[in-house]
Amino acid sequence: MAVLVGKKAPKFKAPAVINGNEIVQDFSLDQYVGKKYVVFFFYPADFTFVCPTEILAFQEKIKEFEARNTAVVGCSTDSEFSHWKWLQTDVKDGGIKGVKFPLVADLSKTISENYDVLAGTYDYNEEGEAVFQGTPQAYRGLFLIDKQGIVRHQVVNDMPLGRSVEETLRMVDALQYFEEHGEVCPADWHKGQKALKATQDGIREFLSAKQN
């Protein structure tokens, strides 16, 4: 599994559904560079079971991400037409109607490959035919990208394991706090709590205050 933290987020242009109902052909994360932070997450497939719980959970918290100047973008190996249909389907019928953030279509699987979250790989059989080994879907990868287009946090879950939207918000807060104050965020830090200076004195001061 590639570690992308500290590196430029891989670029792409791909079809996507935006605003819950509009298909665009050349969606790119480049539009956010210099303007917004990005939470870019992968999920295995439309019309499944764990995936809508995550996507709907991100939508429920979308105003909190927006308040942090952070765009949320989802991606799977489904087509834009599958995304569109799922977005038109009521939640009670297994859909995600009401979701407004972009869903990118990675039908070619190249985006998933470049972010190294594809659950399988292409190979050749004895006849020289291209075949796919594994599952042609993405693991539950999530990447926090700063305004310069650099990946600052990543997490990858296996397909049965849903992610925590609250933890994602916490990581956005931690990154922004560090950028603003220059102090590092210790274990289980949450917005509003004391951080610490990255020095021996700073650590001693922090641990002493915690004990008292």
Question: What tokens does 13 get?
Answer: 């242009």
For residue 211, the tally of other CB atoms under 10 A from its CB is 6
Q: What is the dihedral of CA 77, 141, 64, 190, to 10 degrees?
A: 180
Q: Which of 14, 16, 29, 51 is catalytic?
A: 51
What phi and psi values does residue 70 have, to the nearest 5 degrees? -125, 125
* 51 a catalytic residue: yes
Cα separation, 211 vs 209, in Å, equals 5
3-class state of residue 50 by DSSP:
helix
CA angle (206 as vertex; 203, 207 as ends), nearest 5: 85
Q: Which residues are catalytic?
A: 51
